[in-house]
């Protein structure tokens, strides 16, 4: 049986930290499915389709990764994707409580879905999508946080929104 994992997130936008996790997680499984949450409660900077495209563009060098949007519960998305594992990145201890709760809740809902945590590479430990959006909104330099293409898209979108 093929080993499949889902790597879920909002990815608004995808950062170099996410790409690092995708590269490393792809080596642990036969197939990795990156799931972009269609989050109707938040107003994202990018549509789910745009977020999917930006990730696809950033990981085209990795053969065993698929990217798609999902709505609803993560465990249902994992089931639909025939994945038994969820991958999450841990940057710092501050991520731990939320991640711990989420993995416990997911395992209660579906005991067959287990979470694997990968600690983020130190050079990316300070990066988050919200930092990228915040920095960019004040004209800050985000070139060390995202790919060149994503940098341009973020800058253009923020200009558009002003
Ligand atoms: O990148 P993020 O925003 O930290 O990702 C959070 C995400 C998408 C993994 C989480 O919000 C999620 O799984 N949402 C789907 C709904 C769900 O299953 N919630 C129950 C978890 S307790």
CA 105/CA 4 separation, integer angstroms: 20
In terms of phi and psi (left: phi > 0; alpha: psi -120 to 50; beta: otherwise), the region of 46 is: beta
Percent of the chain with pLDDT over 90: 92
Range in 19-33, 37-51, 72-86, 99-113 the model is least confident about: 37-51
Domain count, the chain: 1
122: CATH: 3.40.50.620
Global confidence as pTM? 0.96
Q: Cα–Cα distance between 56 and 156 in angstroms, integer?
A: 19
> Cβ(10) to ligand 1 under 6 A?
yes
Strands (E) in 51-113, as ranges, are: 65-70, 85-90
Ligand 1 touching residue 8 (CB < 6 A): yes
Q: Span 135-158, mean pLDDT?
A: 97
- List the domain range (segments joined by +) for residue 133: 4-161
Residue 129 designated active-site: yes
Distances (CA, A) of 92 to 20, 48, 54, 87, 118: 15, 27, 25, 16, 11
Atom of ligand 1 nearest to the CA of 74: 18
């Amino acid at each position: 049986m093929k080993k499949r994992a889902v790597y879920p997130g909002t990815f608004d936008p995808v950062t170099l930290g996410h790409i690092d996790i995708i590269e490393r997680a792809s080596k642990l499984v036969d197939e990795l499915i990156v799931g972009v949450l269609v989050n109707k409660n938040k107003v994202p900077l990018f549509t789910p389709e745009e977020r999917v495209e930006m990730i696809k563009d950033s990981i085209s060098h990795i053969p065993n990764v698929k990217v798609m949007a999902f709505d609803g519960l993560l465990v249902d998305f994992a089931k639909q994707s025939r994945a038994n594992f969820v991958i999450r990145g841990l940057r710092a201890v501050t991520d731990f409580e939320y991640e711990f709760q989420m993995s416990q809740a997911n395992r209660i809902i579906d005991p067959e879905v287990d979470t694997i945590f990968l600690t983020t590479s130190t050079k990316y430990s300070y990066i988050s999508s919200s930092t990228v959006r915040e920095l960019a909104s004040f004209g800050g330099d985000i070139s060390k946080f995202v790919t060149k293409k994503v940098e341009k898209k973020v800058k253009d979108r923020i200009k558009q929104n002003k």
